[in-house]
């Protein structure tokens, strides 16, 4: 390897880039990539009520096809740093692992695809044989995700940039490097169920209308299965995450009860159709006896799927050649920035093993960093050998 993914990961981890702070991480990448011949751009986006977020786009080559690697340098807070055995922003090496916030999610993944790209370029005279390699790095993935990838993609498109395929370096593997590619993601839709009654004294319930009764009935109805799953996705499900009546008095029947929920849904539904289904179920369950309403939150997390095909086969073959494992194509888990990228090109998620992400003493095995770099390197080589 002409570039060391462990050293790059260490330097990135040492940047305190807690969402939405850049923390020096993008500046570090800018220096590394510019030295290798990439054209590097920094773009800052903001909108009312949000903190400005810095992002980075880099490209080497001007021809098609354009293979993009994408990721985020922002990380979640470490919590109480006294609970860490290794400093969360130290990038320390111990027991053949690198420790620190972002080691897995996902500065480690970025380090690997940067090292792979640099190694490929060094072996080919400093330029792609044909086509282009681009890197799209955001500082807003762990936050509200409104000033990051979605706007950076739009910014790039306005400049005439187009993308043919993308590897997103999120920690996709479950147990062992090479076991899972994320080929799609379920959609996410959140809301609040509000049931309104009539406040009153508990000793005289006939003079009141307890909204908790209606809320319990509706919760039971809405948690019934939403579908039986589809060819590529597990069944959709609705989960209630909080119930609140705001009542600190034991002898008072409240006037209102609220319950928050989240739905992770598959390709059997669109957001509009899903809302209609939920509201129809509530109407049937209420049977005119409960007065209720839904407060739906805006969502930019729709379901998507990159169907099996040549690009998936190429990535699977590269993983198999390095690890000896044929990865499962999965659509499980939460959302990611792939939900934005899929509108511009087919995208697959493949990165490190995600077991310690967001945990105290987050860490990645050094062997996995080197193996992931080799996989990305093989993907690049195969991609430009086959997409002529």
The answer to whether residues 207 and 322 belong to one domain is no
Return the structure tokens found at 41: 């751009």
Q: Are residue 165 and residue 215 in the same domain, yes or no? A: no
Active site residue 141: yes
CA dihedral 106, 108, 109, 110 (to 10 degrees): 90
What tens-digit pLDDT sequence spans the chain (388 residues)?
579 999 999 999 999 999 999 999 999 999 999 999 999 999 999 999 889 999 999 999 999 999 999 999 999 999 999 999 999 999 999 999 999 999 999 999 999 999 999 999 999 999 898 899 999 999 999 988 899 999 999 999 999 999 999 999 999 999 999 999 999 999 999 999 999 999 999 999 999 999 999 999 999 999 999 999 999 999 999 999 999 998 989 999 999 999 999 999 999 999 999 999 999 999 999 999 999 999 999 888 889 999 999 999 999 999 999 999 999 999 988 889 999 999 999 999 999 999 999 999 999 999 999 999 999 999 999 999 986 5
> Domain of 238: which CATH number?
3.30.70.360
Res 388: pLDDT: 54
Assessment of whether the complete model's pTM goes beyond 0.85: yes
CA dihedral (128, 60, 349, 110) positive or negative: positive
Contact 101, 13 (CB under 8 A): yes
Q: Using alpha carbons, select from 172, 138, 178, 174 the residue that is nearest to residue 155.
A: 138
The CATH number assigned to the domain holding 99 equals: 3.40.630.10
Residue where one domain finishes, among candidates 249, 275, 296: 296
Whether residue 175 sits in one domain with residue 50: yes
Do 180 and 200 lie in one domain? The reply is no
Same domain? For 261 and 116 the reply is no
State which of 245, 262, 296 marks the end of a domain.
296
218: domain range?
A: 187-296
Q: Which of 279, 296, 313 is the last residue of a domain?
A: 296
79, 137: one domain: yes
Asked whether 346 and 165 are in contact (CB, 8 A), the reply is: yes
CA distance 76 to 303: 24
pLDDT score recorded for residue 387: 63
In this structure, the answer to whether residues 175 and 220 fall within a common structural domain is: no
Choice among 74, 161, 302, 337 that is catalytic: 74
Residue 299 has what pLDDT? 87
| Cross-strand partners of 19 | none
Cα 278 to Cα 286: distance, rounded to the nearest angstrom: 12
Given 54, 92, 105, 141, the catalytic residue: 141
- Give residue 2's pLDDT: 72
DSSP H or E run through 243:
strand 237-244
Q: Which DSSP letter does residue 181 get?
A: E
Residue 264 is inside which H or E element, if any? Answer: strand 256-265
Residues 275 and 335 both lie in one domain: no
Is residue 214 located within the same domain as residue 82? Answer: no
In this structure, are residues 345 and 68 in contact, taking their beta carbons and an 8 Å threshold?
yes
181 and 191 fall within a common domain: no
The Cα 382–Cα 107 span in angstroms is 24
């Amino acid at each position: 390897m002409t570039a060391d993914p462990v050293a790059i990961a260490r330097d990135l981890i040492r940047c305190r880039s807690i969402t939405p702070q850049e923390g020096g991480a993008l500046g570090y990448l800018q220096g590394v990539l510019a030295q290798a011949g990439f054209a590097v751009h920094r773009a800052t986006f903001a909108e009312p009520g949000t903190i400005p977020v810095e992002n980075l786009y880099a490209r080497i080559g001007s021809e098609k096809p354009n293979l993009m690697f994408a990721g985020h340098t922002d990380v979640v807070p470490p919590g109480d740093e006294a609970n860490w055995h290794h400093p969360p922003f130290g990038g320390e090496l111990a027991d053949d692992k690198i420790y620190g916030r972002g080691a897995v999610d996902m500065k480690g993944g970025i380090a690997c695809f940067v090292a792979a790209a640099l190694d490929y370029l060094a072996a080919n005279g400093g330029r792609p044989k044909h086509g282009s390699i681009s890197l799209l790095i955001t500082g807003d993935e762990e936050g509200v995700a409104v000033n990051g990838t979605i706007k950076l993609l739009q910014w790039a498109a306005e400049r005439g940039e187009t993308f043919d395929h993308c590897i997103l370096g999120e920690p996709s593997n479950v147990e062992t490097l090479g076991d899972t590619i994320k080929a799609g993601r379920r959609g996410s839709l959140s809301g609040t169920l509000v049931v309104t009654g009539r406040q009153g004294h508990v000793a005289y319930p006939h003079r009141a209308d307890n909204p908790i009764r209606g809320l319990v009935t509706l919760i039971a109805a809405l948690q019934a299965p939403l579908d039986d799953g589809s060819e590529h996705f597990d069944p959709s499900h609705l989960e209630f995450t909080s119930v609140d009546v705001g009542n600190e008095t034991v002898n008072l029947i409240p006037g209102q009860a609220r319950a928050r929920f989240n739905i992770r849904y598959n390709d059997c539904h669109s957001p509009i159709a899903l809302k209609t289904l939920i509201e129809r179920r509530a109407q049937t369950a209420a049977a005119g006896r409960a007065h209720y309403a839904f407060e739906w939150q805006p969502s930019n997390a729709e379901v998507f799927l990159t169907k099996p095909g040549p690009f998936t086969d190429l990535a699977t073959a590269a993983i198999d050649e390095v690890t000896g494992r044929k990865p499962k194509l999965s659509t499980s888990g939460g959302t990611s920035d792939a939900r934005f990228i899929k509108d511009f090109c087919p995208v697959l998620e493949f990165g490190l093993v995600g077991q310690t992400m967001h945990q105290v003493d987050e860490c990645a095995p050094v062997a996995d960093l080197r193996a992931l770099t080799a996989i990305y390197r093989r993907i690049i080589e195969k991609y430009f050998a086959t997409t002529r």
